Structure formats: structure tokens, C-alpha cells
Structure 1
Amino acid sequence: MINMIQNAKAQAAQLTMDAYHRAVSAGTLPQGDVKQAPVEIPKDTTNGDYTTTFALAAAKALGQNPRAIAQALLDNLQLDGTYFDSAAIAGPGFLNFKMNQTWYADVLVAIDTEKETFGTSDTLKGEKIMVEFVSANPTGPMHMGNARGGVLGDTLAAVLSASGADVTREFYVNDAGNQIEKFAKSLEGRYLQILQGEDAVEFSADWYQGGDIRDMAQAYIDANGDGLLTVSEEERREKLAEFGLSVNLPKMKSDLQNYKINYDVWFYESTLYADGFVDETVAALTAAGYTYEQEGALWLHTAKIVADNLRKAGKKEKDIEKLELKDDVLRRANGFYTYFAADIAYHRNKFAVRGYDRVINIWGADHHGHVARIKGAMDVLGLNGTDRLDIVLMQLVKLLRDGEVVRMSKRTGKAISLCDLLEEIPVDAARWFFNAKPDTQMEFDLGLAVREDSENPIYYVEYAHARICSLLRTLAEEGVAVPALSDVDMALLSGDAEQALIKQLSAYCEHIRLAARDYDPSQINRCLVEVAACFHRFYSACRIKGEDVAVAGARLKLADATRQVLRNGLALIGVEAPEKM
């Protein structure tokens, strides 16, 4: 619950403003229209742990040189009882603050007090958020994009929960529409070919091409025989699709559970039709004046909706024209709704029926053209999709083995699926590596993922945790336990390596905050690697065994705090924290 970085920033900002008001009262500085003091952590902390650019930002409003303003602030600073030992002016007018031992001690107090909850906060308390991710078509095995989206969605949900939000993980099952019709036709074609011969039914380019379709048709025959030869085409396709879904959906759920992903809701597209919600949604769009009929089909004024939103956002008309925006069909001339109509209904259900404050979708980058359209549809339905619907677009995954791109599974000779991947590398390694920054194309090195050395980041982090656990066990066997915080002299943790490690432990809270704000859970990975690096440097520079009892106790307490933060962070991204390696 305690973010010591934010606490220090807030305190430095308040100290600066208090100094400004004192300078005004003393007549050293004029009263002006100045904002709250901005405080940041400088890239180089040699001259200070925190810095404010207040003097630079206020120079124009106060009509004075920034360094003169900074000097007036410095003359009126009162640091007694704060987290700061000193302050100094640098450069054109930066005011730098140096932290004192109280701040470092309070970081360890927070970790010791909060333990498993260290890093969590209530910044998003009261906000109801849905994260929808993977949502793969149930017509075949899940691929690498699903593997990446699964981890990003699951870890983002965990980060948002850690920030106090009420989070729902949802999988949208596309069990209706074109893809299911294609699935049924594909199964039917293979079914007839198996029973009547390859020449009985011409192979169609419109079928799903995977060998899994033929295997499934054979499985149906093995279980049910050839009874579908004598029924209508409609019934045959319905039965085969029903069978296919009954096989694929449990397999998808099982694969995802093996991947440590458990959904709160599996939402079926078919229910939107069964409940009449697609009809109702299209009627609402029509009532709002955004549909029209043409050649027997019902269209949505998508181009107008998106263009209007772009104008509101300040986009220039010539730039809008370059986009060549087009309208979308909602209902075809044959009376069937399009996938887009169902998708609008689905998102309307999230907001209007289930009452989510915010909805986050994890989509592949190839869906970028769909973002403005679905947001715009929510806007015209009065649901404020522009602000409440967020889309995280993730880039492609390239698998590498020995520097070569891998496209086929060694085991099956087919495109690598999630199931294939998890047979080749540990689940934890997959989760770690796929939890990369979503807007960058990633190269997944299969060899690196199983290496047991410092080049493999997950091994490096897990080894740091195991190393601490080993230290604690060894000392426990010698009768030395981790001391209570009240028995630790925090002033003894004043070395560079010790303070660098404490700073990095405090940064864990900030990384969670930024991960939730930016929808970038890879922040946690980066933080844990830095914590591990700081610990290894600390452990090399600062002896514990054989040191003075008080010094050893303080360092042991710091090591145990590091273990706690590593454990918390690994748990947040769904990775084990081994105690032995």
C-alpha cells in the first residue's frame, strides 16, 4: 500500500511549494501564477536522488532568473523531519534533493509490514474493469499470437487487480457466424471424403486446411459411424460443428489452464443471437440515425462516425480524407448479421448490461483498423467508447532456434501451437518471455528460454531468489534467524550497494503503478531483473556470514526483503519462485 517513490516525490514537491510561499512572504520572490512543483528522479543521481524543475518552469511567471529562484527556494527550505538530508542547486536552476536514512529504513518497514501485499495499492479502487484476451476461434489449435496475448492479458489483469481494481478476465467464444459455418463445411467435406472417397467431394479452397479438421472428422466417424450420410446437409453440418466445438473448447480450456490462465467468464457469441441482443443493438444504431439500407443490406455510417471522432480529436480534414474511410455492413441482403454487428453487440453488452467502467481488449496488430470503428460504434450508442474502451495491439512473435526462424513443430510437422510450445519449454519460461512490451515485435529464442545461466533473464531472477533462500537455510541451520525489524539498526545499511538495492526494491511499487497506467506488464520483468542484479552486486560487496552481529543482522534483513519482493513480482506474472536450483 506504500509507494515510497511517490511518497518522496510528493514530499519534495510540497517542500518546494512551502519554500516558495515562505520566499513570497519574506519578499524574496514575487507572488505569481505558478503550478505545483514537478519532481522527477534524475538519470544521474550523483548530485541528488530527486530533482524539481520548479525554478525553470516558474521563471517566466515570476520574471526572475531560474537560478535566482532556486536560491530563494533553497534559502527557505525546511528539511527537518523529512526524507531529505540536503538540497543543492545544479545546472540552469534544478533543485536536487538527497535522501536521508529515514527513507531507506521506511522502505524496509513497508516490505516487512506488507509482505505478500507489498506493491499493491488502492489507486484503482472502485473501478470495474474487464480484460478480454486470446478469444481465439474455436475452430483449431491456439497459435503463437494467442500465446503472447494470453500472458499479456493475464498479467495485465493481475497488475490492475494489484492496483485495487475489480477485474474480470474474459474469453469471447466465437461459436456463431461465418467461421463456424466454414468450420462445419470443412468438417462435412472431410467426413464425406473419408466415407465416400477423396473423389466423392471436391476439395475446396474455402475449407479450413489443417490436418486437425480431417482428424476431427475421423474422430466423429469413430464415435458415431456414418449416420450423417442420410440426414439433410443442414443437420449434418450442425452435428459436425457441435462435435468439433465439444472437442476444441475443452482442449482450449485445458491448454490455457496448463499455461496458468484461468478465466472468470467464457462468453458465447451465440447467446447474443439467442437473447436477441444483436437485433436490439442494430435497432439502437438505427434509432440513433447511423444506419441506412442499400441493395437489400443494412449499413452503418462508419466513415462518418470515425471521421467525426477524428475531427473532435483535432485531426485535419486532409489527413482524414487520406484514410479513405468506408462504411460497414451490419446485416447482409440474405438477412444474416455480420461479425461486426455481433462485435458491436458484444461490446455494448459489456458496458450497458454488465456495467464495466472500463474494457481492455488484447488484439493482434492486424486488427488496428477495427479499433476506431468499434470505439465509434460505442460512442454513438452513448457508451463513450473513446474513453472507456481501450485496445492493446500486440505485434507478431518470431520463434528462433539457433538463430533460425522456426515455423513448424518438430513433433507434428505442423505450425507450432501453444500446446507444442509448452512441450518444448517450461511454462514459466513461456510466460516470462511472452510478457514483453506489447507494441514491439518480439523474437522468442527457444534456446535461451531453457538456458541455465545469467543470459536467460528468468533463470537470473529465479536464481537470485533461490540464492537468498539457500542463504537463509544455511544460517538457520547455524542457529541464525532473520532478525525482527525492531532489532535492526537501519543506519548500518548505508553503503552504496545496500542503498542501491533498497532503491530498487522501492521501485517495484512504482513499476506496478506504471504497468497499470500504461498497460505494459513487462514493467514487472524489467524491475525484477534490476532487483536481481542489485542483489547480486550487494551480495558480492557486503558480507553477511562472519560479519559483526549487528551488521550481519541488518544485511540479512535486507536480503530477506529482497526475497519477498522477488517472490511477489514473480507471482504477479504467474511464475514460480524456486527455493532451490
Structure 2
Amino acid sequence: MTPEQLSAVIVDVLTTLSDQGAITLPDGVPASVTVERPRQKGHGDYATNVALQLAKKAQMNPRAFAELVRERLGAVEGVADVEIAGPGFLNISVSAGAQGAVAAQVVESGDEYGRTSTLSGERINVEFISANPTGPLHLGHTRWAVVGDAVARVLDAAGAEVTREFYINDRGNQMNLFGASVEAAALGRPTPENGYHGGYIADLAREVVAADPGIVDLPEGERHTAFREAAYALQLRQQQDQLERFETRFDVWFSERSLHDSDDVAAGLEKLRGQGHLFDADGALWMRTTDFDDDKDRVLIKSDGSLTYFASDTAYYVDKRQRGFDRCIYLLGADHHGYVNRLRAMAACAGDDPDHHIEVLIGQMVKIMKDGQELKLSKRAGTLVTLEELVDLIGVDALRYTLARYPADSPLTLDAAEMTKQSSDNPVFYVQYAHARISSILRNAADLGFAGPGSVPEDFDPALLSHEKEGELLRALAEFPRVVASAAELREPHRVARYLEDTAGVYHRFYDNCRVLPMGDEEPNDLHRARLVLVAATRTVLANGLRLLGVSAPERM
């Protein structure tokens, strides 16, 4: 019996009490109640404070309210015992059969176990990384590649319709400087002032000329444009290839240029003008964001007629909303903290609710140490180590898992040696090893003639899973859907990682105390079969959780 199932049972009990007139709830029976695992042993399998929450509304003493619930709940099949504690808490013990049935439920659900409908019906756009296409992705982008992707994965698992979007800043002076830098490298000229440096610029220049040798002979203006566009295409493709290798994929690569080429910027500003929050002053067009707690009003069109970055940002947000997204989530670095209020104000100026339609997550910096020194220099970029180099040094799984297991708003200092160490001290190794160890057990079980791990034998008896360590593991597995839903609602995928580590620990303790396979000439029995279902269920949960973090679940290590 999972917490969700027990919550539904308690709601049914409350509904019966209400229908019989035993309790009166002016607001009606709630759709769900909170059911949690108690912190102390001996307090049952689950606990609920429903009596404390509803007694005042029912104008009853909490313990008297709890007694009504206890009496009827204790008669429900699968509930072994209900005790009242303190002012009205209910501690609930479920039967071994009801608890053991969770293992069969997990195995039968397979890849779907852990998915919920918590956010069903919501269309959410998650925009992250959004780097300029003027250089390789680096460590700063790496954290967002992990966290943004994991946020999108848990939102999807909670039932939302999710679009992962990369906003390509492919317009403006930085693009011209980028093109001029590649052009100068190809022609053997000095890098232009404020231009781009690093070995990758020379690499791009060679690739551009190799693909089109005649490009160097074009007239100056035409040549500059050709170099810019060719280098842009190559750099963008490299970013996409690096992210693909890093298990981070986007549904939409949105070009800033497209906003201007399609006149969407003008259309977006016209929509805002209709909301009454634009005004003209000093020959410029402004948005009165101070109406919504911004520290100052923002310029959209300068007095010389040029558009500001904020104008593009505004048009881009309006475009997202017009594409039907209910919520637009932005993942930004620590240096963009000042953007939070202005983006919220911009959404309000567009007529939206900034508490619902827009959400800005701010992430902190990451440092990675190697041999006691911070990794800063890159062979290709000259500064800031690149994503490609980090993957080569640390590996996809270790890098993704380590960055995913911490709250995004906490600064990190990580050690490359610790991240790659193959020991139980390394969290990713610890979780992956649990999955691999289970896979080995299931292979051995198949050799002994047991049913495959993806099915539940007809003679499976969940009541046999009555050992204390089996109960702990079953309760841990039952928590997984709630953990996923919480990670989605709070935008905190690190909750999944920490859950996996805890569950791997519970599994290891179970395995140390409960023999799964027969030994020597011992005949396979029903307890072996029941425990194999529990083991297979654990493997399913570990694999599903790792998938939410974009980390592999190896069968051999």
C-alpha cells in the first residue's frame, strides 16, 4: 500500500463519516490528505495529521475526531492497526500483504512507475543554457545543462507537457565581432579590438576555409558576412553535438534573429502598448516596469531607433505565451540575479500573473578542483574549461549526477578525483553499483530457473515479505512517486538524487539481512520468489530515478 493509496482510503473514510453525519465539514471532504513515513520506529508504517487539520472545521476535539477515523480505518482491508498519538496524530500499520503488494505494482508498472498526474494539463516551457553561439560551452553552462534538463524530466514525469528550449543569441554586435575574429584568423591578421581569442577561433577559421576556399577572395563586406555565418553554423553545431553527447536535448532551438525577421518584436511591443504600460520619453520608448516592483523603468527602443536587449527579451516572452505555454521557466546564472524583478514586471506589463506565468531560477557558480588547483584554463577556449573537456576528464554520468544532487542555488566546489572515484563514498558509484548488483542477482536467478525480472509470478505471495528490512525497503519504494512529484513542484531534481542514495542504502541493508537466492542444494521456495520480486522492483526504481537525472543505470560494473 503506497502513501497515495492510503491517502485515498482515508478520504473514503472521511466521506463515509460525512455522509453518515458523524462529522460535518463546511468545506467538504478534501480530495487528498497528507500521509507520511513516521520518523521514529514503532510509530507504524505511516502517519497522518488529518484529525488535527480537520477537527476545528468540524468543531470537534482532535482526539475525538481521530477516534472516529481510527475505528473505521482499522476495518479496511490491508490496514493492520491504527493508533492515536499525542493530540490526534494517527499512526497506521499496514499488513505485510498490503505492503508487499507494492513490489508487484512497481514491477508491473516498469518504466512508468514514479510518474504522476500532479501537473497534468500544464504546458511548461523550460529555457536553459541559451549561450551565445560564439564559443564552446563551458563549466558555467554545464550546471544548467544538467539542472535544466533534470527539471524538465521531473516536470514531464509529473504529467506536465514540457518543451525544452534553447534561445540562440545570434543577433547583435557580439556576432559581428565573432565573425570578424574568425575572418582575421583565416587571413592571418590581428584579432579585432574586443574580439574573440582562443584556439577554437583558429580551428573555426580552418574549417570555414576548408569548406569554402573561395571565401577569402570575396569582397570585404561580403567576406565578413560569409565568415560570420559559416562560423556561426559550425559553432552552433558543435554546441548541439556536445550537448547531445552530454545527454541534454532540446525540443526547440529558438533564434533571436527570427523574432526580428518576422516582425515579432514589433508585434510584441504593440501588444504591450495595448496593455497601457508603454510610454515615450526623451525620444525613446519605455516600459513602465516600476508599476510592478522593478527598481526602474526599462528602455525598449533607444532614441537612435535601435532596440535594446530587453525589447528582444520582452518579444520572446510574448512569443512563448502566444505559443500556448501556461508557464515560462527561465534558468539563469548568478550574474543575472537583477533580471528576476524586471522579467516578472515585464510579464505583469504583458497582462500576465508573474506568480504563475513566469518563473526565474537562479543558479550559483561551480568550481572544479584537480590536484588541488581550480580548473580554469582551456586548451581550446583559453579561459574557462569547456564542457567537452569536463566530459573527457570526469565522464557524463559522474558529472551529471554530481551537479544534479545539489540545490541549484548553492555554490559548489567539487573535486574531480572524488567525482570519479569508484567507491561507496562516491554517490553516483554507490547508486549505480546497487543497480548493477541487483542486475547480477537477477541474472543468477534466471540461470536457476526463476521468472524474468519484468514479470510477477502467479504464485507471488506479498505477505511473505514480512521481515523488518523488507518493510523498510517496500516503504522506500512506495515513496518514489511522491519524491518525483515534490521534485517537480519545487523545481528541485536534487531530491531525486538524495532519494536514490537513501534507497540504495536501504537496499544494501535488506540484502545483508535477507538471503534472496537459494544456497547450495537448497530448493527454491516461495520466499525466494517473493524477495526476487522485491529486488526487481528496487532495480526498476533505481533505473527510473537515474533516468530522471539523465544518468545511465549500468547492469555490470
Give the whole-Å Cα distance in 2 for the aligned partners of 1:486 and 1:541.
26
2:262 maps to 1:275: yes
1:208 to 189, 196, 212: 196
Q: Which residue of 1 aligns with 2:105?
A: 110
Instruction: List runs of 5+ in structure 1 lacking aligned partners.
Output: 308-324
Matched, 1:51 2:51: no
**Residue identity in the other structure for 1:553:** R
Residues 570 and 577 in structure 1, CA contact (< 8 A), matched pair in contact too: yes
1:342 Cα deviation (Å)? 0.6
**Separation of aligned partners in 1, 2:95 and 2:86:** 23
**Closer, same or farther: CA 17–94 of 1 in aligned 2, 3 Å:** farther
- Are 1:34 and 1:58, in contact at CA under 8 Å, matched by a contact in 2? no
Q: 1:183 aligns with which of 165, 175, 178?
A: 178
Instruction: Tell me whether 1:174 sits opposite 2:169 in the alignment.
Output: yes
Distance 1:60 1:443, change over 3 A: same
The aligned residue for residue 577 of structure 1 is 553
The verdict on how the C-alpha distance between 1:12 and 1:415 changes in structure 2, with shifts beyond 3 A counting, is: same
Q: Residues 362 and 550 from structure 1, CA distance in 2 versus in 1: closer, same or farther, beyond 3 angstroms?
A: same
Question: Where do 5+ consecutive residues of structure 2 fail to align?
Answer: none
| CA distance in 2 between partners of 1:462 and 1:118 (Å) | 19
d(CA) in 1 for partners of 2:208 and 2:53? 72
TM superposition shift of 1:11: 2.2
2:425 is aligned, of 430, 446, 455, to 455
Which amino acid letter does the alignment assign opposite residue 127 of structure 1? E
Letter in 2 for 1:123: T
Alpha-carbon contact 2:101-2:462 (below 8 Å) kept: no
Match of 1:294 in 2: 281
Structure-1 residue corresponding to 2:345: 376
Out of 533, 538, 559, the residue aligned to residue 505 of structure 2 is: 533
Among all aligned residue pairs of Structure 1 and Structure 2, give the percentage whose two residues are the same amino acid. 36
Where 1:172 maps in the other structure, the secondary structure is strand
1:62 deviation in Å? Answer: 6.3
Take 2:135 and 2:39, find their aligned partners in 1: how far apart are those partners?
A: 49
Q: TM-score, normalised by structure 1?
A: 0.86
CA offset at residue 45 of structure 1? 4.3
> What is the CA distance between 1:420 and its match in structure 2?
0.7
Structure 1: distance between partners of 2:508 and 2:110: 21
Q: Do structure 1's residue 151 and structure 2's residue 120 form an aligned pair?
A: no
TM-fit CA distance, 1:505 = 1.1
Q: Deviations over 1:152-181 (max 9, x none)?
A: 122222222222222222111111124323
Is the contact made by 1:395 and 1:438 (CA closer than 8 Å) also made in structure 2? yes
Letter in 2 for 1:104: Q
Specify the alignment match of 1:351 in structure 2. 321
- Aligned pairs for 1:435-450 (under 5 A) are 435-436=404-405, 437-450=407-420
CA-CA distance at 1:78 after TM superposition:
4.0
Q: Aligned-pair distance for 1:500?
A: 0.7
Cα displacement (A) at 1:305: 3.2
TM norm structure 2: 0.89
Inter-CA distance 100–448: structure 2 relative to 1 (3 Å threshold): same
Moved more, 176-185 or 392-401: 176-185
Query: Aligned residue for 1:330?
Result: 300
Counterpart Cα distance in 2 of 1:31 and 1:331: 57
Indicate the residue corresponding to 1:567 in structure 2. Answer: 543
Contact 2:147 2:403 (C-alpha < 8 Å) held by counterparts: yes
Aligned pair partner of 1:422 in 391, 398, 413: 391
The residue type equivalent to 2:201 in the other structure is: I
Alpha-carbon distance in 1 for matches of 2:312, 2:122: 26
Alignment CA distance shift 1:346-1:571 (3 Å): same
Deviations 1:329-350 (A, max 9, x none): 1112222211110111111111
Q: Which residue of 2 is the match for residue 391 of structure 1? A: 360
How many residue pairs were aligned?
548
Show the counterpart of 1:315: none
Q: What code does the residue aligned with 1:97 have?
A: I
Structure-1 separation of matches of 2:401 and 2:390: 14
Q: Which structure carries more relative contact order (alpha carbon 8 Å, separation 6+)?
A: 2
State the alpha-carbon separation in 2 of the partners of residues 488 and 225 from structure 1: 70
Post-superposition shift, 1:301?
1.3
- Paired residue secondary structure (2:511): helix
Structure 1 residues 306 and 226, CA, compared in 2 at 3 Å: closer, same or farther? Answer: farther
Partner of residue 239, structure 2: 252
Could you list the per-position Cα deviations for residues 501-553 of structure 1 after superposition, in whole angstroms to 9, with x for gaps in the alignment?
11111111111111111111222212221221111111110012236612211
Q: Does 1:408 align with 2:377?
A: yes
| Cα separation, partners in 2 of 1:89 and 1:512, compared to 1, 3 Å | same
Which residue of the partner structure matches residue 137 of structure 1?
A: 132
CA contact (8 A) 1:399 1:443 kept: yes
SS in 1 for 2:360: strand
Moved more, 294-303 or 511-520: 294-303
SS in 1 for 2:286: strand
Q: Distance in 1 between matches of 2:219 and 2:533?
A: 74
- Distance (Å, rounded) in 2 between the aligned partners of 1:58 and 1:125: 27
Aligned-residue offset at 1:484: 3.5
Aligned residue identity for 1:53? N
**Cα distance in structure 2, aligned partners of 1:296 and 1:338:** 14
Partners of 2:278 and 2:286 within 8 A in 1: yes
Counterpart Cα distance in 1 of 2:312 and 2:382: 36
SS in 2 for 1:390: strand
The 1:6–1:442 alpha-carbon spacing in structure 2 relative to 1, beyond 3 Å, is: farther
Q: How does 1:190-201 map to 2 (within 5 A)?
A: 194-195=188-189, 198=190
Please identify, of 523-532 and 292-301, the stretch whose mean Cα deviation from structure 2 is larger.
292-301
- Which residue does the alignment assign to 1:516? 488
- When residues 509 and 336 of structure 1 are mapped into structure 2, their CA distance, relative to the original with a 3 A threshold, is same
Q: Structure 2 residue aligned with 1:497, among 450, 464, 469?
A: 469
Q: 2 CA distance for matches of 1:566 and 1:555?
A: 17
Change (3 A) 1:410 1:116: same
Supply the distance in 2 between the matched residues of 1:301 and 1:229 (Cα, whole angstroms): 50
Corresponding letter in the other structure for 2:315: A
**Alignment match, 1:318:** none
What amino acid sits opposite 1:534 in the alignment? V
Cα distance in structure 1, aligned partners of 2:53 and 2:298: 49
2:83 counterpart (85, 88, 92): 88
The letter for the 2-side match of 1:432 is Y
Alpha-carbon distance, 1:258 to partner: 0.7
Q: Is the 8 Å Cα contact of residues 351 and 383 (structure 1) preserved in structure 2? A: no
Q: Confirm or deny: 8 A CA contact 1:19 1:78 kept in the other structure.
A: no
Distance 1:99 1:393 in 2: 42
Match of 1:141, SS state, is: coil
The verdict on how the C-alpha distance between 1:78 and 1:67 changes in structure 2, with shifts beyond 3 A counting, is closer
In 1, distance between residues paired with 2:399 and 2:258?
33
Match of 1:99 in 2: 94
**Paired AA for residue 559 in structure 1:** V
Residue of structure 2 in register with 1:555 after alignment? 531
Deviates more, 1:211-220 or 1:419-428: 211-220
Whole-Å Cα distance in 1 between the matches of residues 210 and 423 of structure 2?
49
Give the distance between the partners of 2:264 and 2:26, measured in 1 at CA. Answer: 57
After superposition, give the CA deviation of every residue in 1:450-496 in whole Å (9 maximum; x if it has no partner): 11110111111111111111112223223344584321221111111
- CA–CA distance in structure 2, aligned partners of residues 57 and 277 of structure 1: 50
Tell me the secondary structure at the aligned position of residue 115 of structure 2.
Answer: coil
Comparing 111-120 with 180-189, which one deviates more in the overlay? Answer: 180-189
CA distance, structure 1, for counterparts of residue 207 and residue 441 of structure 2: 55
Check whether the contact 1:20–1:73 (CA below 8 A) recurs between aligned residues. Answer: no
Give, in whole Å, the separation in 1 of the partners of 2:156 and 2:373.
Answer: 39
**Amino acid corresponding to residue 356 of structure 1 in structure 2:** F
